Chain A
């Protein structure tokens, strides 16, 4: 089944404790992206990747890191999480290199709480 998977689905952590949220897609998509969703603010893009070893900032990259060493994986890294990073996070992917000439497939989401 074609899908985007994220792990963990739920995570409660404390300020400053490094964490990684994994994202994997099995559709051989080139474009991958991370979004955060907060009440009243909609979806905001954090980082995106056009292909392996190619990443770029979205609207709200501060406090996050990403890497794209393999085509299928695009982990989101919080080196020192803070309470303002408490949010619902979505990973997405799309084929080719143009996410708006094609469908973006979204993962199920990761609900992160930073205490």
Chain B
């Protein structure tokens, strides 16, 4: 399985750009990289997904280098409501041909006023 490694926690002030990096050295050729956001006592919510280079949507950007062994979630100008846990997910092919998905332990982002 493609194990993912993320920082356990990060702090940021309101209005700053936040970058959260996920390492996935064993990513398979056809794997996608997906990021989810989770608030306390709620289910995770999809943020962004990519395969290579850069992907941008209305809430975030995802940067993936050519070797795809890492990815960086970028949140522009964070607010207090962005305080949450962010998960990097790689799959599905890293599960030896199955669609088994392995989430990392997540990064707890705290936004400070």
User: Which residues does A use to contact B, with CB under 8 Å?
Assistant: 4, 31, 33, 35, 40-45, 48, 50, 56-59, 90, 92, 97-101, 103-109
A48-B101 contact given A42-B106, A100-B31, CB 8 Å threshold: yes
Residue pair B43, A97 in contact (C-beta under 8 Å): no
User: Which residues does B use to contact A, with CB under 8 Å?
Assistant: 1, 31-32, 34, 36, 41-46, 49, 87, 89-92, 98-106
The 5 tightest CB contacts between A and B, nearest first, are A106-B43, A42-B105, A43-B103, A103-B46, A100-B32
A108-B42 contact given A98-B92, A100-B92, CB 8 Å threshold: yes
User: For A103, what are the chain B residues with a Cβ–Cβ distance below 8 Å?
Assistant: 46, 49
Q: How far is the CB of B112 from chain A (nearest CB, A)?
A: 23
Residue pair B34, A45 in contact (C-beta under 8 Å): no
Q: How far is the CB of B62 from chain A (nearest CB, A)?
A: 13
